[in-house]
Homo-oligomer: A and B are copies of this chain.
Amino acid sequence: MNKLSRMLARKFVLAKPFEGLPKLTDFNIIEETIPTELQDGEILAKAEWWTVDPYMRLRSVANMKIGDQFTGGQVARVIKSRCAEFPEGSQVVGYFGWRDFTIYKPVPGGPRMYSSIQKMPEMKGLPDSYALGCMGMPGNTAYHGLLDICQPKSSETLVVSAAAGAVGSLVGQIGKIKGCKVIGFAGDDDKVNWLTNELGFDLAFNYKKVKLDETFKNYVPQKIDCYFDNVGGEFIYHVVQNMNEFGRISQCGSISAYNAQRKPGELPLVPFDYPLFRFNQMKLEGFNVRRWANNWFDGINAIRDWILEGKIKVRESVTEGFENIPQAFIDLLEGKNTGKQVIKATN
């Protein structure tokens, strides 16, 4: 191989294990050379959009060593291909991680979902970045996590936490489409206003300014039937105190616990009212969106059509430039984004 047959790629690796909220110094950019001559079945892809999502904080704690590349999805353009399924010039959604150029060999007949590689959804004119948000993993998380786990019925009351985030904002709007009374909680007043004024939530509150139990007692006298949980911890406790019999909690995330530090052997203490939970025959179910890999495009296409019909509104927080992925990730964990946080490639 001569010099011309190789090129430079950049990637982010873990520089230092996170302690609490990640810091910029925990991330390193590394350059690596990759061949430009492809093997049979391979593609060379150039990232156009990256996504950062809360689950990455959890995964990084569990599985990453120093020097490991950060994982995650991209919308990428195939710039060279020896794989008929993903031809040159096409776009893919690839789980290539925080890097710009990628050589990837799709497993023939292998899984085609957010955590491997898939063709772009049929966007029908909607922005490409949606394939990482409302028409990607977060979209399906909202769709199936609400409809299959909570199974909300018309006129039931649905509470959503982290309601201005990529998933929560969809959950609330799908709840409205299904005839629920929807109550959202978010972390600042602008987000709260967005939920009620633009997204059609019946009520929304800034959880930093209100007492949860009081708020439920004053504003939700009919009590809660479904809770879509993105935060865990004390929030669930207060929901349980104000839930109807046969209440269902769909546990999507627990962002309140992701940055928590514990000493070895220390158990994560949270309030939980087991006797009441049993008395009212409640259900708490955790889920991973992989569960719906076999009907991956059902939710995505449904959300797309609701967007095209004007029933769902989407907002994105866009950061520009590969080098700013870590900052976008930190902003996300601090709740600075409204809607889906994505990063646009600038070169």
A-B contact pairs, 30 of them (CB 8 A): A232-B274, A233-B274, A234-B267, A236-B274, A251-B274, A251-B277, A251-B278, A252-B278, A253-B278, A254-B274, A254-B275, A254-B278, A257-B274, A257-B275, A258-B275, A267-B271, A268-B273, A268-B274, A269-B270, A269-B271, A270-B271, A270-B274, A272-B272, A274-B286, A278-B288, A280-B286, A281-B286, A282-B286, A283-B286, A284-B284
Q: Does A291 belong to the interface (CB within 8 Å)?
A: yes
Please determine whether B291 and A281 come into contact, CB atoms closer than 8 angstroms.
yes
Does A237 sit at the interface, judged by CB under 8 A? yes
Please name all residues of chain B whose beta carbon is closer than 8 Å to the beta carbon of A271 when the two chains form the complex.
267-270
Q: Please pick, from B252, B270, B281, the residue contacting A272 in the complex, using a CB distance under 8 A.
A: B270
Question: What residues on B are CB-neighbors of A252 within 8 Å?
Answer: 278
Number of copies: 2
Contacts of A282 in B (CB 8 A): 285-286
Q: Does A9 contact B (CB under 8 A)?
A: no
Classify chain A's interface size: 20 to 34
A interface residue numbers (CB < 8 A to B): 58, 232-234, 236-237, 251-254, 257-258, 267-275, 277-288, 291
Asked, given contacts A268-B271, A272-B272, A274-B270, whether A286 binds B291 with beta carbons under 8 Å apart, the answer is no
Partner of A270 from B251, B270, B283 at Cβ < 8 Å: B270
User: Beyond the given A237-B267, A253-B278, could you list 8 further A-B residue pairs with CB under 8 A, ordered by the A residue number?
Assistant: A254-B275, A270-B272, A277-B284, A278-B287, A278-B288, A279-B288, A282-B286, A284-B284
